[in-house]
Amino acid sequence: MTIDGPGPSVRSPEQPSAAHDPTGSMTGSDAADVVVVGGGVSGLVCARDLHDAGLTVVVLEASHRLGGRVLTQHTPGAEPIELGAQWVADSHHQLQALLTRHGLRLRRPPRHGRVVHLDDAGRRTLPAWRAPFASLTLLQSLDFLVATARLSLRTRQHPKDADIHISAAQWLDGACRTAAGRQLLGSSLEASACLPATDISLAWVLDEFRRCGGLSRLSDTEQQVVVGGLGALVDCLAAPLDIRLDQSANRLRRTGTQWQIDTANGTLACDHVVVATAPAATETLLPSAGDPQRKPGAVLKVVARYPRPFWRDSGRSGTATNVRTAAVVTGTVDAGYADPGSDGHLIGFVTGRSAQRLAGRPAAEQRSAVLDDLVRLHGPAAREPLHLVVHDWSQETWSPGGYTWPAPPGAALSRRRVQGVQLAGSEHADRWPGFVEGAVQAGHAAAAVIADIGNSPPASW
């Protein structure tokens, strides 16, 4: 992570309650009805449901903080910054219900104005509807639209067995007649997977998009943000729970009718186990449930705060797309307030091949590359942010990589289950994998199996 200027505190999204044990020592009970391994949103939702149903619950979190892919940075006198998950779509019904339950509000960042499109031919400012086709001729645009329609139709059904062995790149070669149409659709797929199209199977693409309600819904998710940041939801969920930070689950074993979970600080006994960790950690604890072929991809999130939203002066929305061959920041959006007197707040992403090139590089190199692209997209005023953060998720120990863990060609889509263990986490959601909505849904579902809570099924699209 690169921070421009003196480093403001990155508050762990949790505010530890009396039940939290930030030292990781076994100061609480060594037995519980349920142990939840993983203190991301999905694990906390599950733990809170079980706690509210009257069960004793312990949450083991290997990191020094809660939240997983939710990471809210607080700077005195400024709006919180989201270094991880941020967006709440209108169709994210379960997340919205949870926010309402805890008294948290949503707001819509402004989206009025023209958008910037940057390609190898240069920079153009266009109406929003024109931007996706700015680099394409009429024939290339039709090629892209036809291929997109074919892919969208395929997402309405479960993938075929043959789709497992085909890469997304191979499908694009057959579906697109023009190189430009293929490149544009391939870039969209790579941005979602955070991996090159050669490294993801067609079956995974179809299944992932199907669970997100199709391409049309997936392309319009940057709609609302939580006032005060998503970290506020983490705080609310965690408040009454028994949470052990800096405490990883090293071994899980069955002894008679109970489970034994070994940590560096002792052993916990419980009747039920929920594993709500990133896939790599799940595979370590439950090898039979893992899939070593899956890789997390790479994504860097960029947050740039300016004295004012200067892009609005010329009628621009802050939305920009970058399809240059050497692109670094692949796109930006305005995440600020509509008030003209407010700070300027741009969110950007480095995904796919661009992220793979920049991931793990020195902080100064990342900062320089990002600023150069922000200037290309938004002009010289973008060179001087009040505050710039580039958060490299590939360097996270416990929640590494992109938004989800794609299946490469040849890898099965289904995950093997372990009898008596519930799996949570966004990757296991029936709806919206890779989003906070999916994490919430999977957490509710895991708790319902244990406590027969009777949560309502996911809302219809």
Q: Lowest-pLDDT range, 62-66, 175-179, 207-211, 390-394? A: 207-211
Per-residue pLDDT, 26: 42
Per-residue pLDDT, 378: 96
Per-residue pLDDT, 411: 86
The more confident residue out of 251 and 2 is 251
- Residue 161, CA atoms < 13 Å, CB-side half-sphere: 0
pLDDT tens sequence across 97-116: 999 999 999 999 998 899 99
- Residue 227, CA atoms < 13 Å, CB-side half-sphere: 9
Residue 165 per-residue DSSP state: G
Asked if 245 contacts 66 with a C-beta cutoff of 8 angstroms, the reply is: yes
Q: Quick check: helix, strand or coil at residue 185? A: helix
Checking if the pLDDT of 422 tops 70, the result is: yes
Three-state SS annotation for 363-398: HHHHHHHHHHHHHHHHCHHHHCCCEEEEEEHHHCCC
Per-residue pLDDT, 219: 66
Q: Quick check: helix, strand or coil at residue 83? A: coil
The enclosing H or E element of 119 equals strand 114-119
Read off the pLDDT of each residue in 158-162 and give the average, rounded to a whole number: 87
Q: Lowest-pLDDT range, 188-202, 249-263, 265-279, 416-430? A: 416-430
Q: State which amino acid sits at residue 236.
A: C
Q: State the pairing for strand pair 242-244/299-306.
A: unpaired
The more confident residue out of 69 and 282 is 69
Per-residue pLDDT, 418: 76
Per-residue pLDDT, 4: 39
pLDDT bracket for residue 443 (50, 70, 90): very high
Checking if the pLDDT of 21 tops 70, the result is: no
Checking if the pLDDT of 294 tops 90, the result is: no
pLDDT bracket for residue 25 (50, 70, 90): very low
Per-residue pLDDT, 157: 82
Three-state SS annotation for 194-212: CCCHHHCEHHHHHHHHHHC
Per-residue pLDDT, 20: 53
Task: For residue 244, give every residue at least 6 positions away whose Cβ sits within 8 Å of its Cβ, in sequence order, or none.
Answer: 21, 24, 26, 28, 58, 59, 60, 61, 263, 265
The more confident residue out of 202 and 293 is 202
Per-residue pLDDT, 11: 37
Read off the pLDDT of each residue in 263-270 and give the average, rounded to a whole number: 91
- CA–centroid distance for 439 within its chain: 10
Checking if the pLDDT of 145 tops 50, the result is: yes
pTM recorded for the entire structure: 0.89
Per-residue pLDDT, 246: 94
Of 185, 199, 197, give the one whose Cα is nearest residue 410: 199
Per-residue pLDDT, 3: 34
Read off the pLDDT of each residue in 365-386 and give the average, rounded to a whole number: 96
Length of the chain, in residues: 461
pLDDT tens sequence across 72-83: 998 877 788 999
Checking if the pLDDT of 27 tops 60, the result is: no
How many angstroms separate the Cα of 19 from the Cα of each of 76, 238, 240, 246? 27, 9, 7, 15
The enclosing H or E element of 452 equals none
Checking if the pLDDT of 16 tops 80, the result is: no
Read off the pLDDT of each residue in 204-218 and give the average, rounded to a whole number: 82
Per-residue pLDDT, 293: 75
Task: For residue 209, give every residue at least 6 positions away whose Cβ sits within 8 Å of its Cβ, in sequence order, or none.
Answer: 151, 152, 155, 215, 218
- CA–centroid distance for 204 within its chain: 17
pLDDT tens sequence across 212-250: 887 766 666 778 999 999 999 999 999 999 999 999 999
- CA–centroid distance for 227 within its chain: 18
- Structural domains in the chain, CATH included, are 2-6+71-111+221-229+296-395 (3.90.660.10), 20-69+230-295+408-451 (3.50.50.60), 135-213 (1.10.405.10)
Q: What does the mean pLDDT of the chain come to? A: 86
Read off the pLDDT of each residue in 384-411 and give the average, rounded to a whole number: 90
Per-residue pLDDT, 57: 96
Read off the pLDDT of each residue in 300-314 and give the average, rounded to a whole number: 95
Per-residue pLDDT, 436: 96
Per-residue pLDDT, 218: 63
pLDDT tens sequence across 48-98: 999 999 999 999 999 999 999 999 998 877 788 999 999 999 999 999 999
Per-residue pLDDT, 217: 63
For residues 429 and 80, give the distance between their C-alpha atoms in angstroms, rounded to a whole number. 28
